[in-house]
Chains A and B, each alone.
Chain A
Amino acid sequence: DGGITQSPKYLFRKEGQNVTLSCEQNLNHDAMYWYRQDPGQGLRLIYYSQIVNDFQKGDIAEGYSVSREKKESFPLTVTSAQKNPTAFYLCASTLGTGLTGELFFGEGSRLTVL
């Protein structure tokens, strides 16, 4: 079945540690996205990538980094510079330009900083 797989589902981190969240899609989609979800704030865009080896900052990129070495993969690293990393992280993808913006989402990764 085609879809988006995020891992791990739950992750605990000590302060000062970097962590990497995995996102893999087998939908052959061109564009991929990372959103952060906090209670009562909806979703906010962290980074997005339209093609391999290229990515752009979203609205809240500080303290995060990404890479897009393969079309199907878009990992997100939450660095120690992110001041409040505890959140639910959602990866999404869409086929490409010219469409109406429908996104397909993974099931999310919940990060808790201890």
Chain B
Amino acid sequence: GNSVTQMEGPVTLSEEAFLTINCTYTATGYPSLFWYVQYPGEGLQLLLKATKADDKGSNKGFEATYRKETTSFHLEKGSVQVSDSAVYFCALSAPDSWGKLQFGAGTQVVVTP
């Protein structure tokens, strides 16, 4: 079956540090890949997405590249801010899955001033 594995948290960083959250997946066919972000006490918001191999999704300074050869979709940001403190979820959507997403366990990121 389809699955998503992401690095465990919490990840604690100082402001302006470089952030990487690893995400690898197992899926048949060519899934779409997503990063969602959840701020405390809220629902999830789409951060970025990629729908085919070598696509790069980007938003708010975050980037992730769909690497089919390594089945990965790592999230990166060059300089984090305190406001980036949140839980980040990697997810995949298999073709014709009607939006049923398979989520990773989430990675909590804590950015300190």
Instruction: Identify the A interface with B (CB < 8 A).
Output: 4, 6, 31, 33, 40-45, 48, 50, 58, 90, 92, 94, 97, 99-108
Closest A residue, CB atoms, query B99? A94
Contact B103 A43 (CB under 8 A): yes
When A and B form their complex, which 3 residue pairs have the shortest distance between CB atoms, in order from nearest?
A101-B93, A105-B43, A94-B99
Known: A42-B89, A42-B106, A43-B89. A101 touches B45 (CB 8 A): no
Contact B101 A103 (CB under 8 A): yes
Instruction: Identify the B interface with A (CB < 8 A).
Output: 4, 32, 34, 36, 41-46, 49, 51, 89, 93, 96-101, 103-106
The interface residues of chain B lying within 8 Å CB-to-CB of A92 are 43-44, 99
- Measured CB to CB, the closest approach of chain B to A63, in angstroms, equals 20
Contact A97 B43 (CB under 8 A): no
Contact A33 B99 (CB under 8 A): yes
The interface residues of chain A lying within 8 Å CB-to-CB of B93 are 100-101
Contact A108 B99 (CB under 8 A): no
- Measured CB to CB, the closest approach of chain B to A20, in angstroms, equals 19
Contact B32 A101 (CB under 8 A): yes
Contact pick for B99, options A40, A90, A101, A107, CB 8 Å: A101
Residue from A33, A58, A101, A108 whose CB has the most chain B CB atoms within 10 Å: A101
Contact B34 A102 (CB under 8 A): yes
Once the chains are docked, how many angstroms separate the CA of A61 from the CA of B89? 22
Contact B43 A41 (CB under 8 A): no
Once the chains are docked, how many angstroms separate the CA of A70 from the CA of B32? 29
Contact A40 B46 (CB under 8 A): no
Contact B98 A102 (CB under 8 A): no
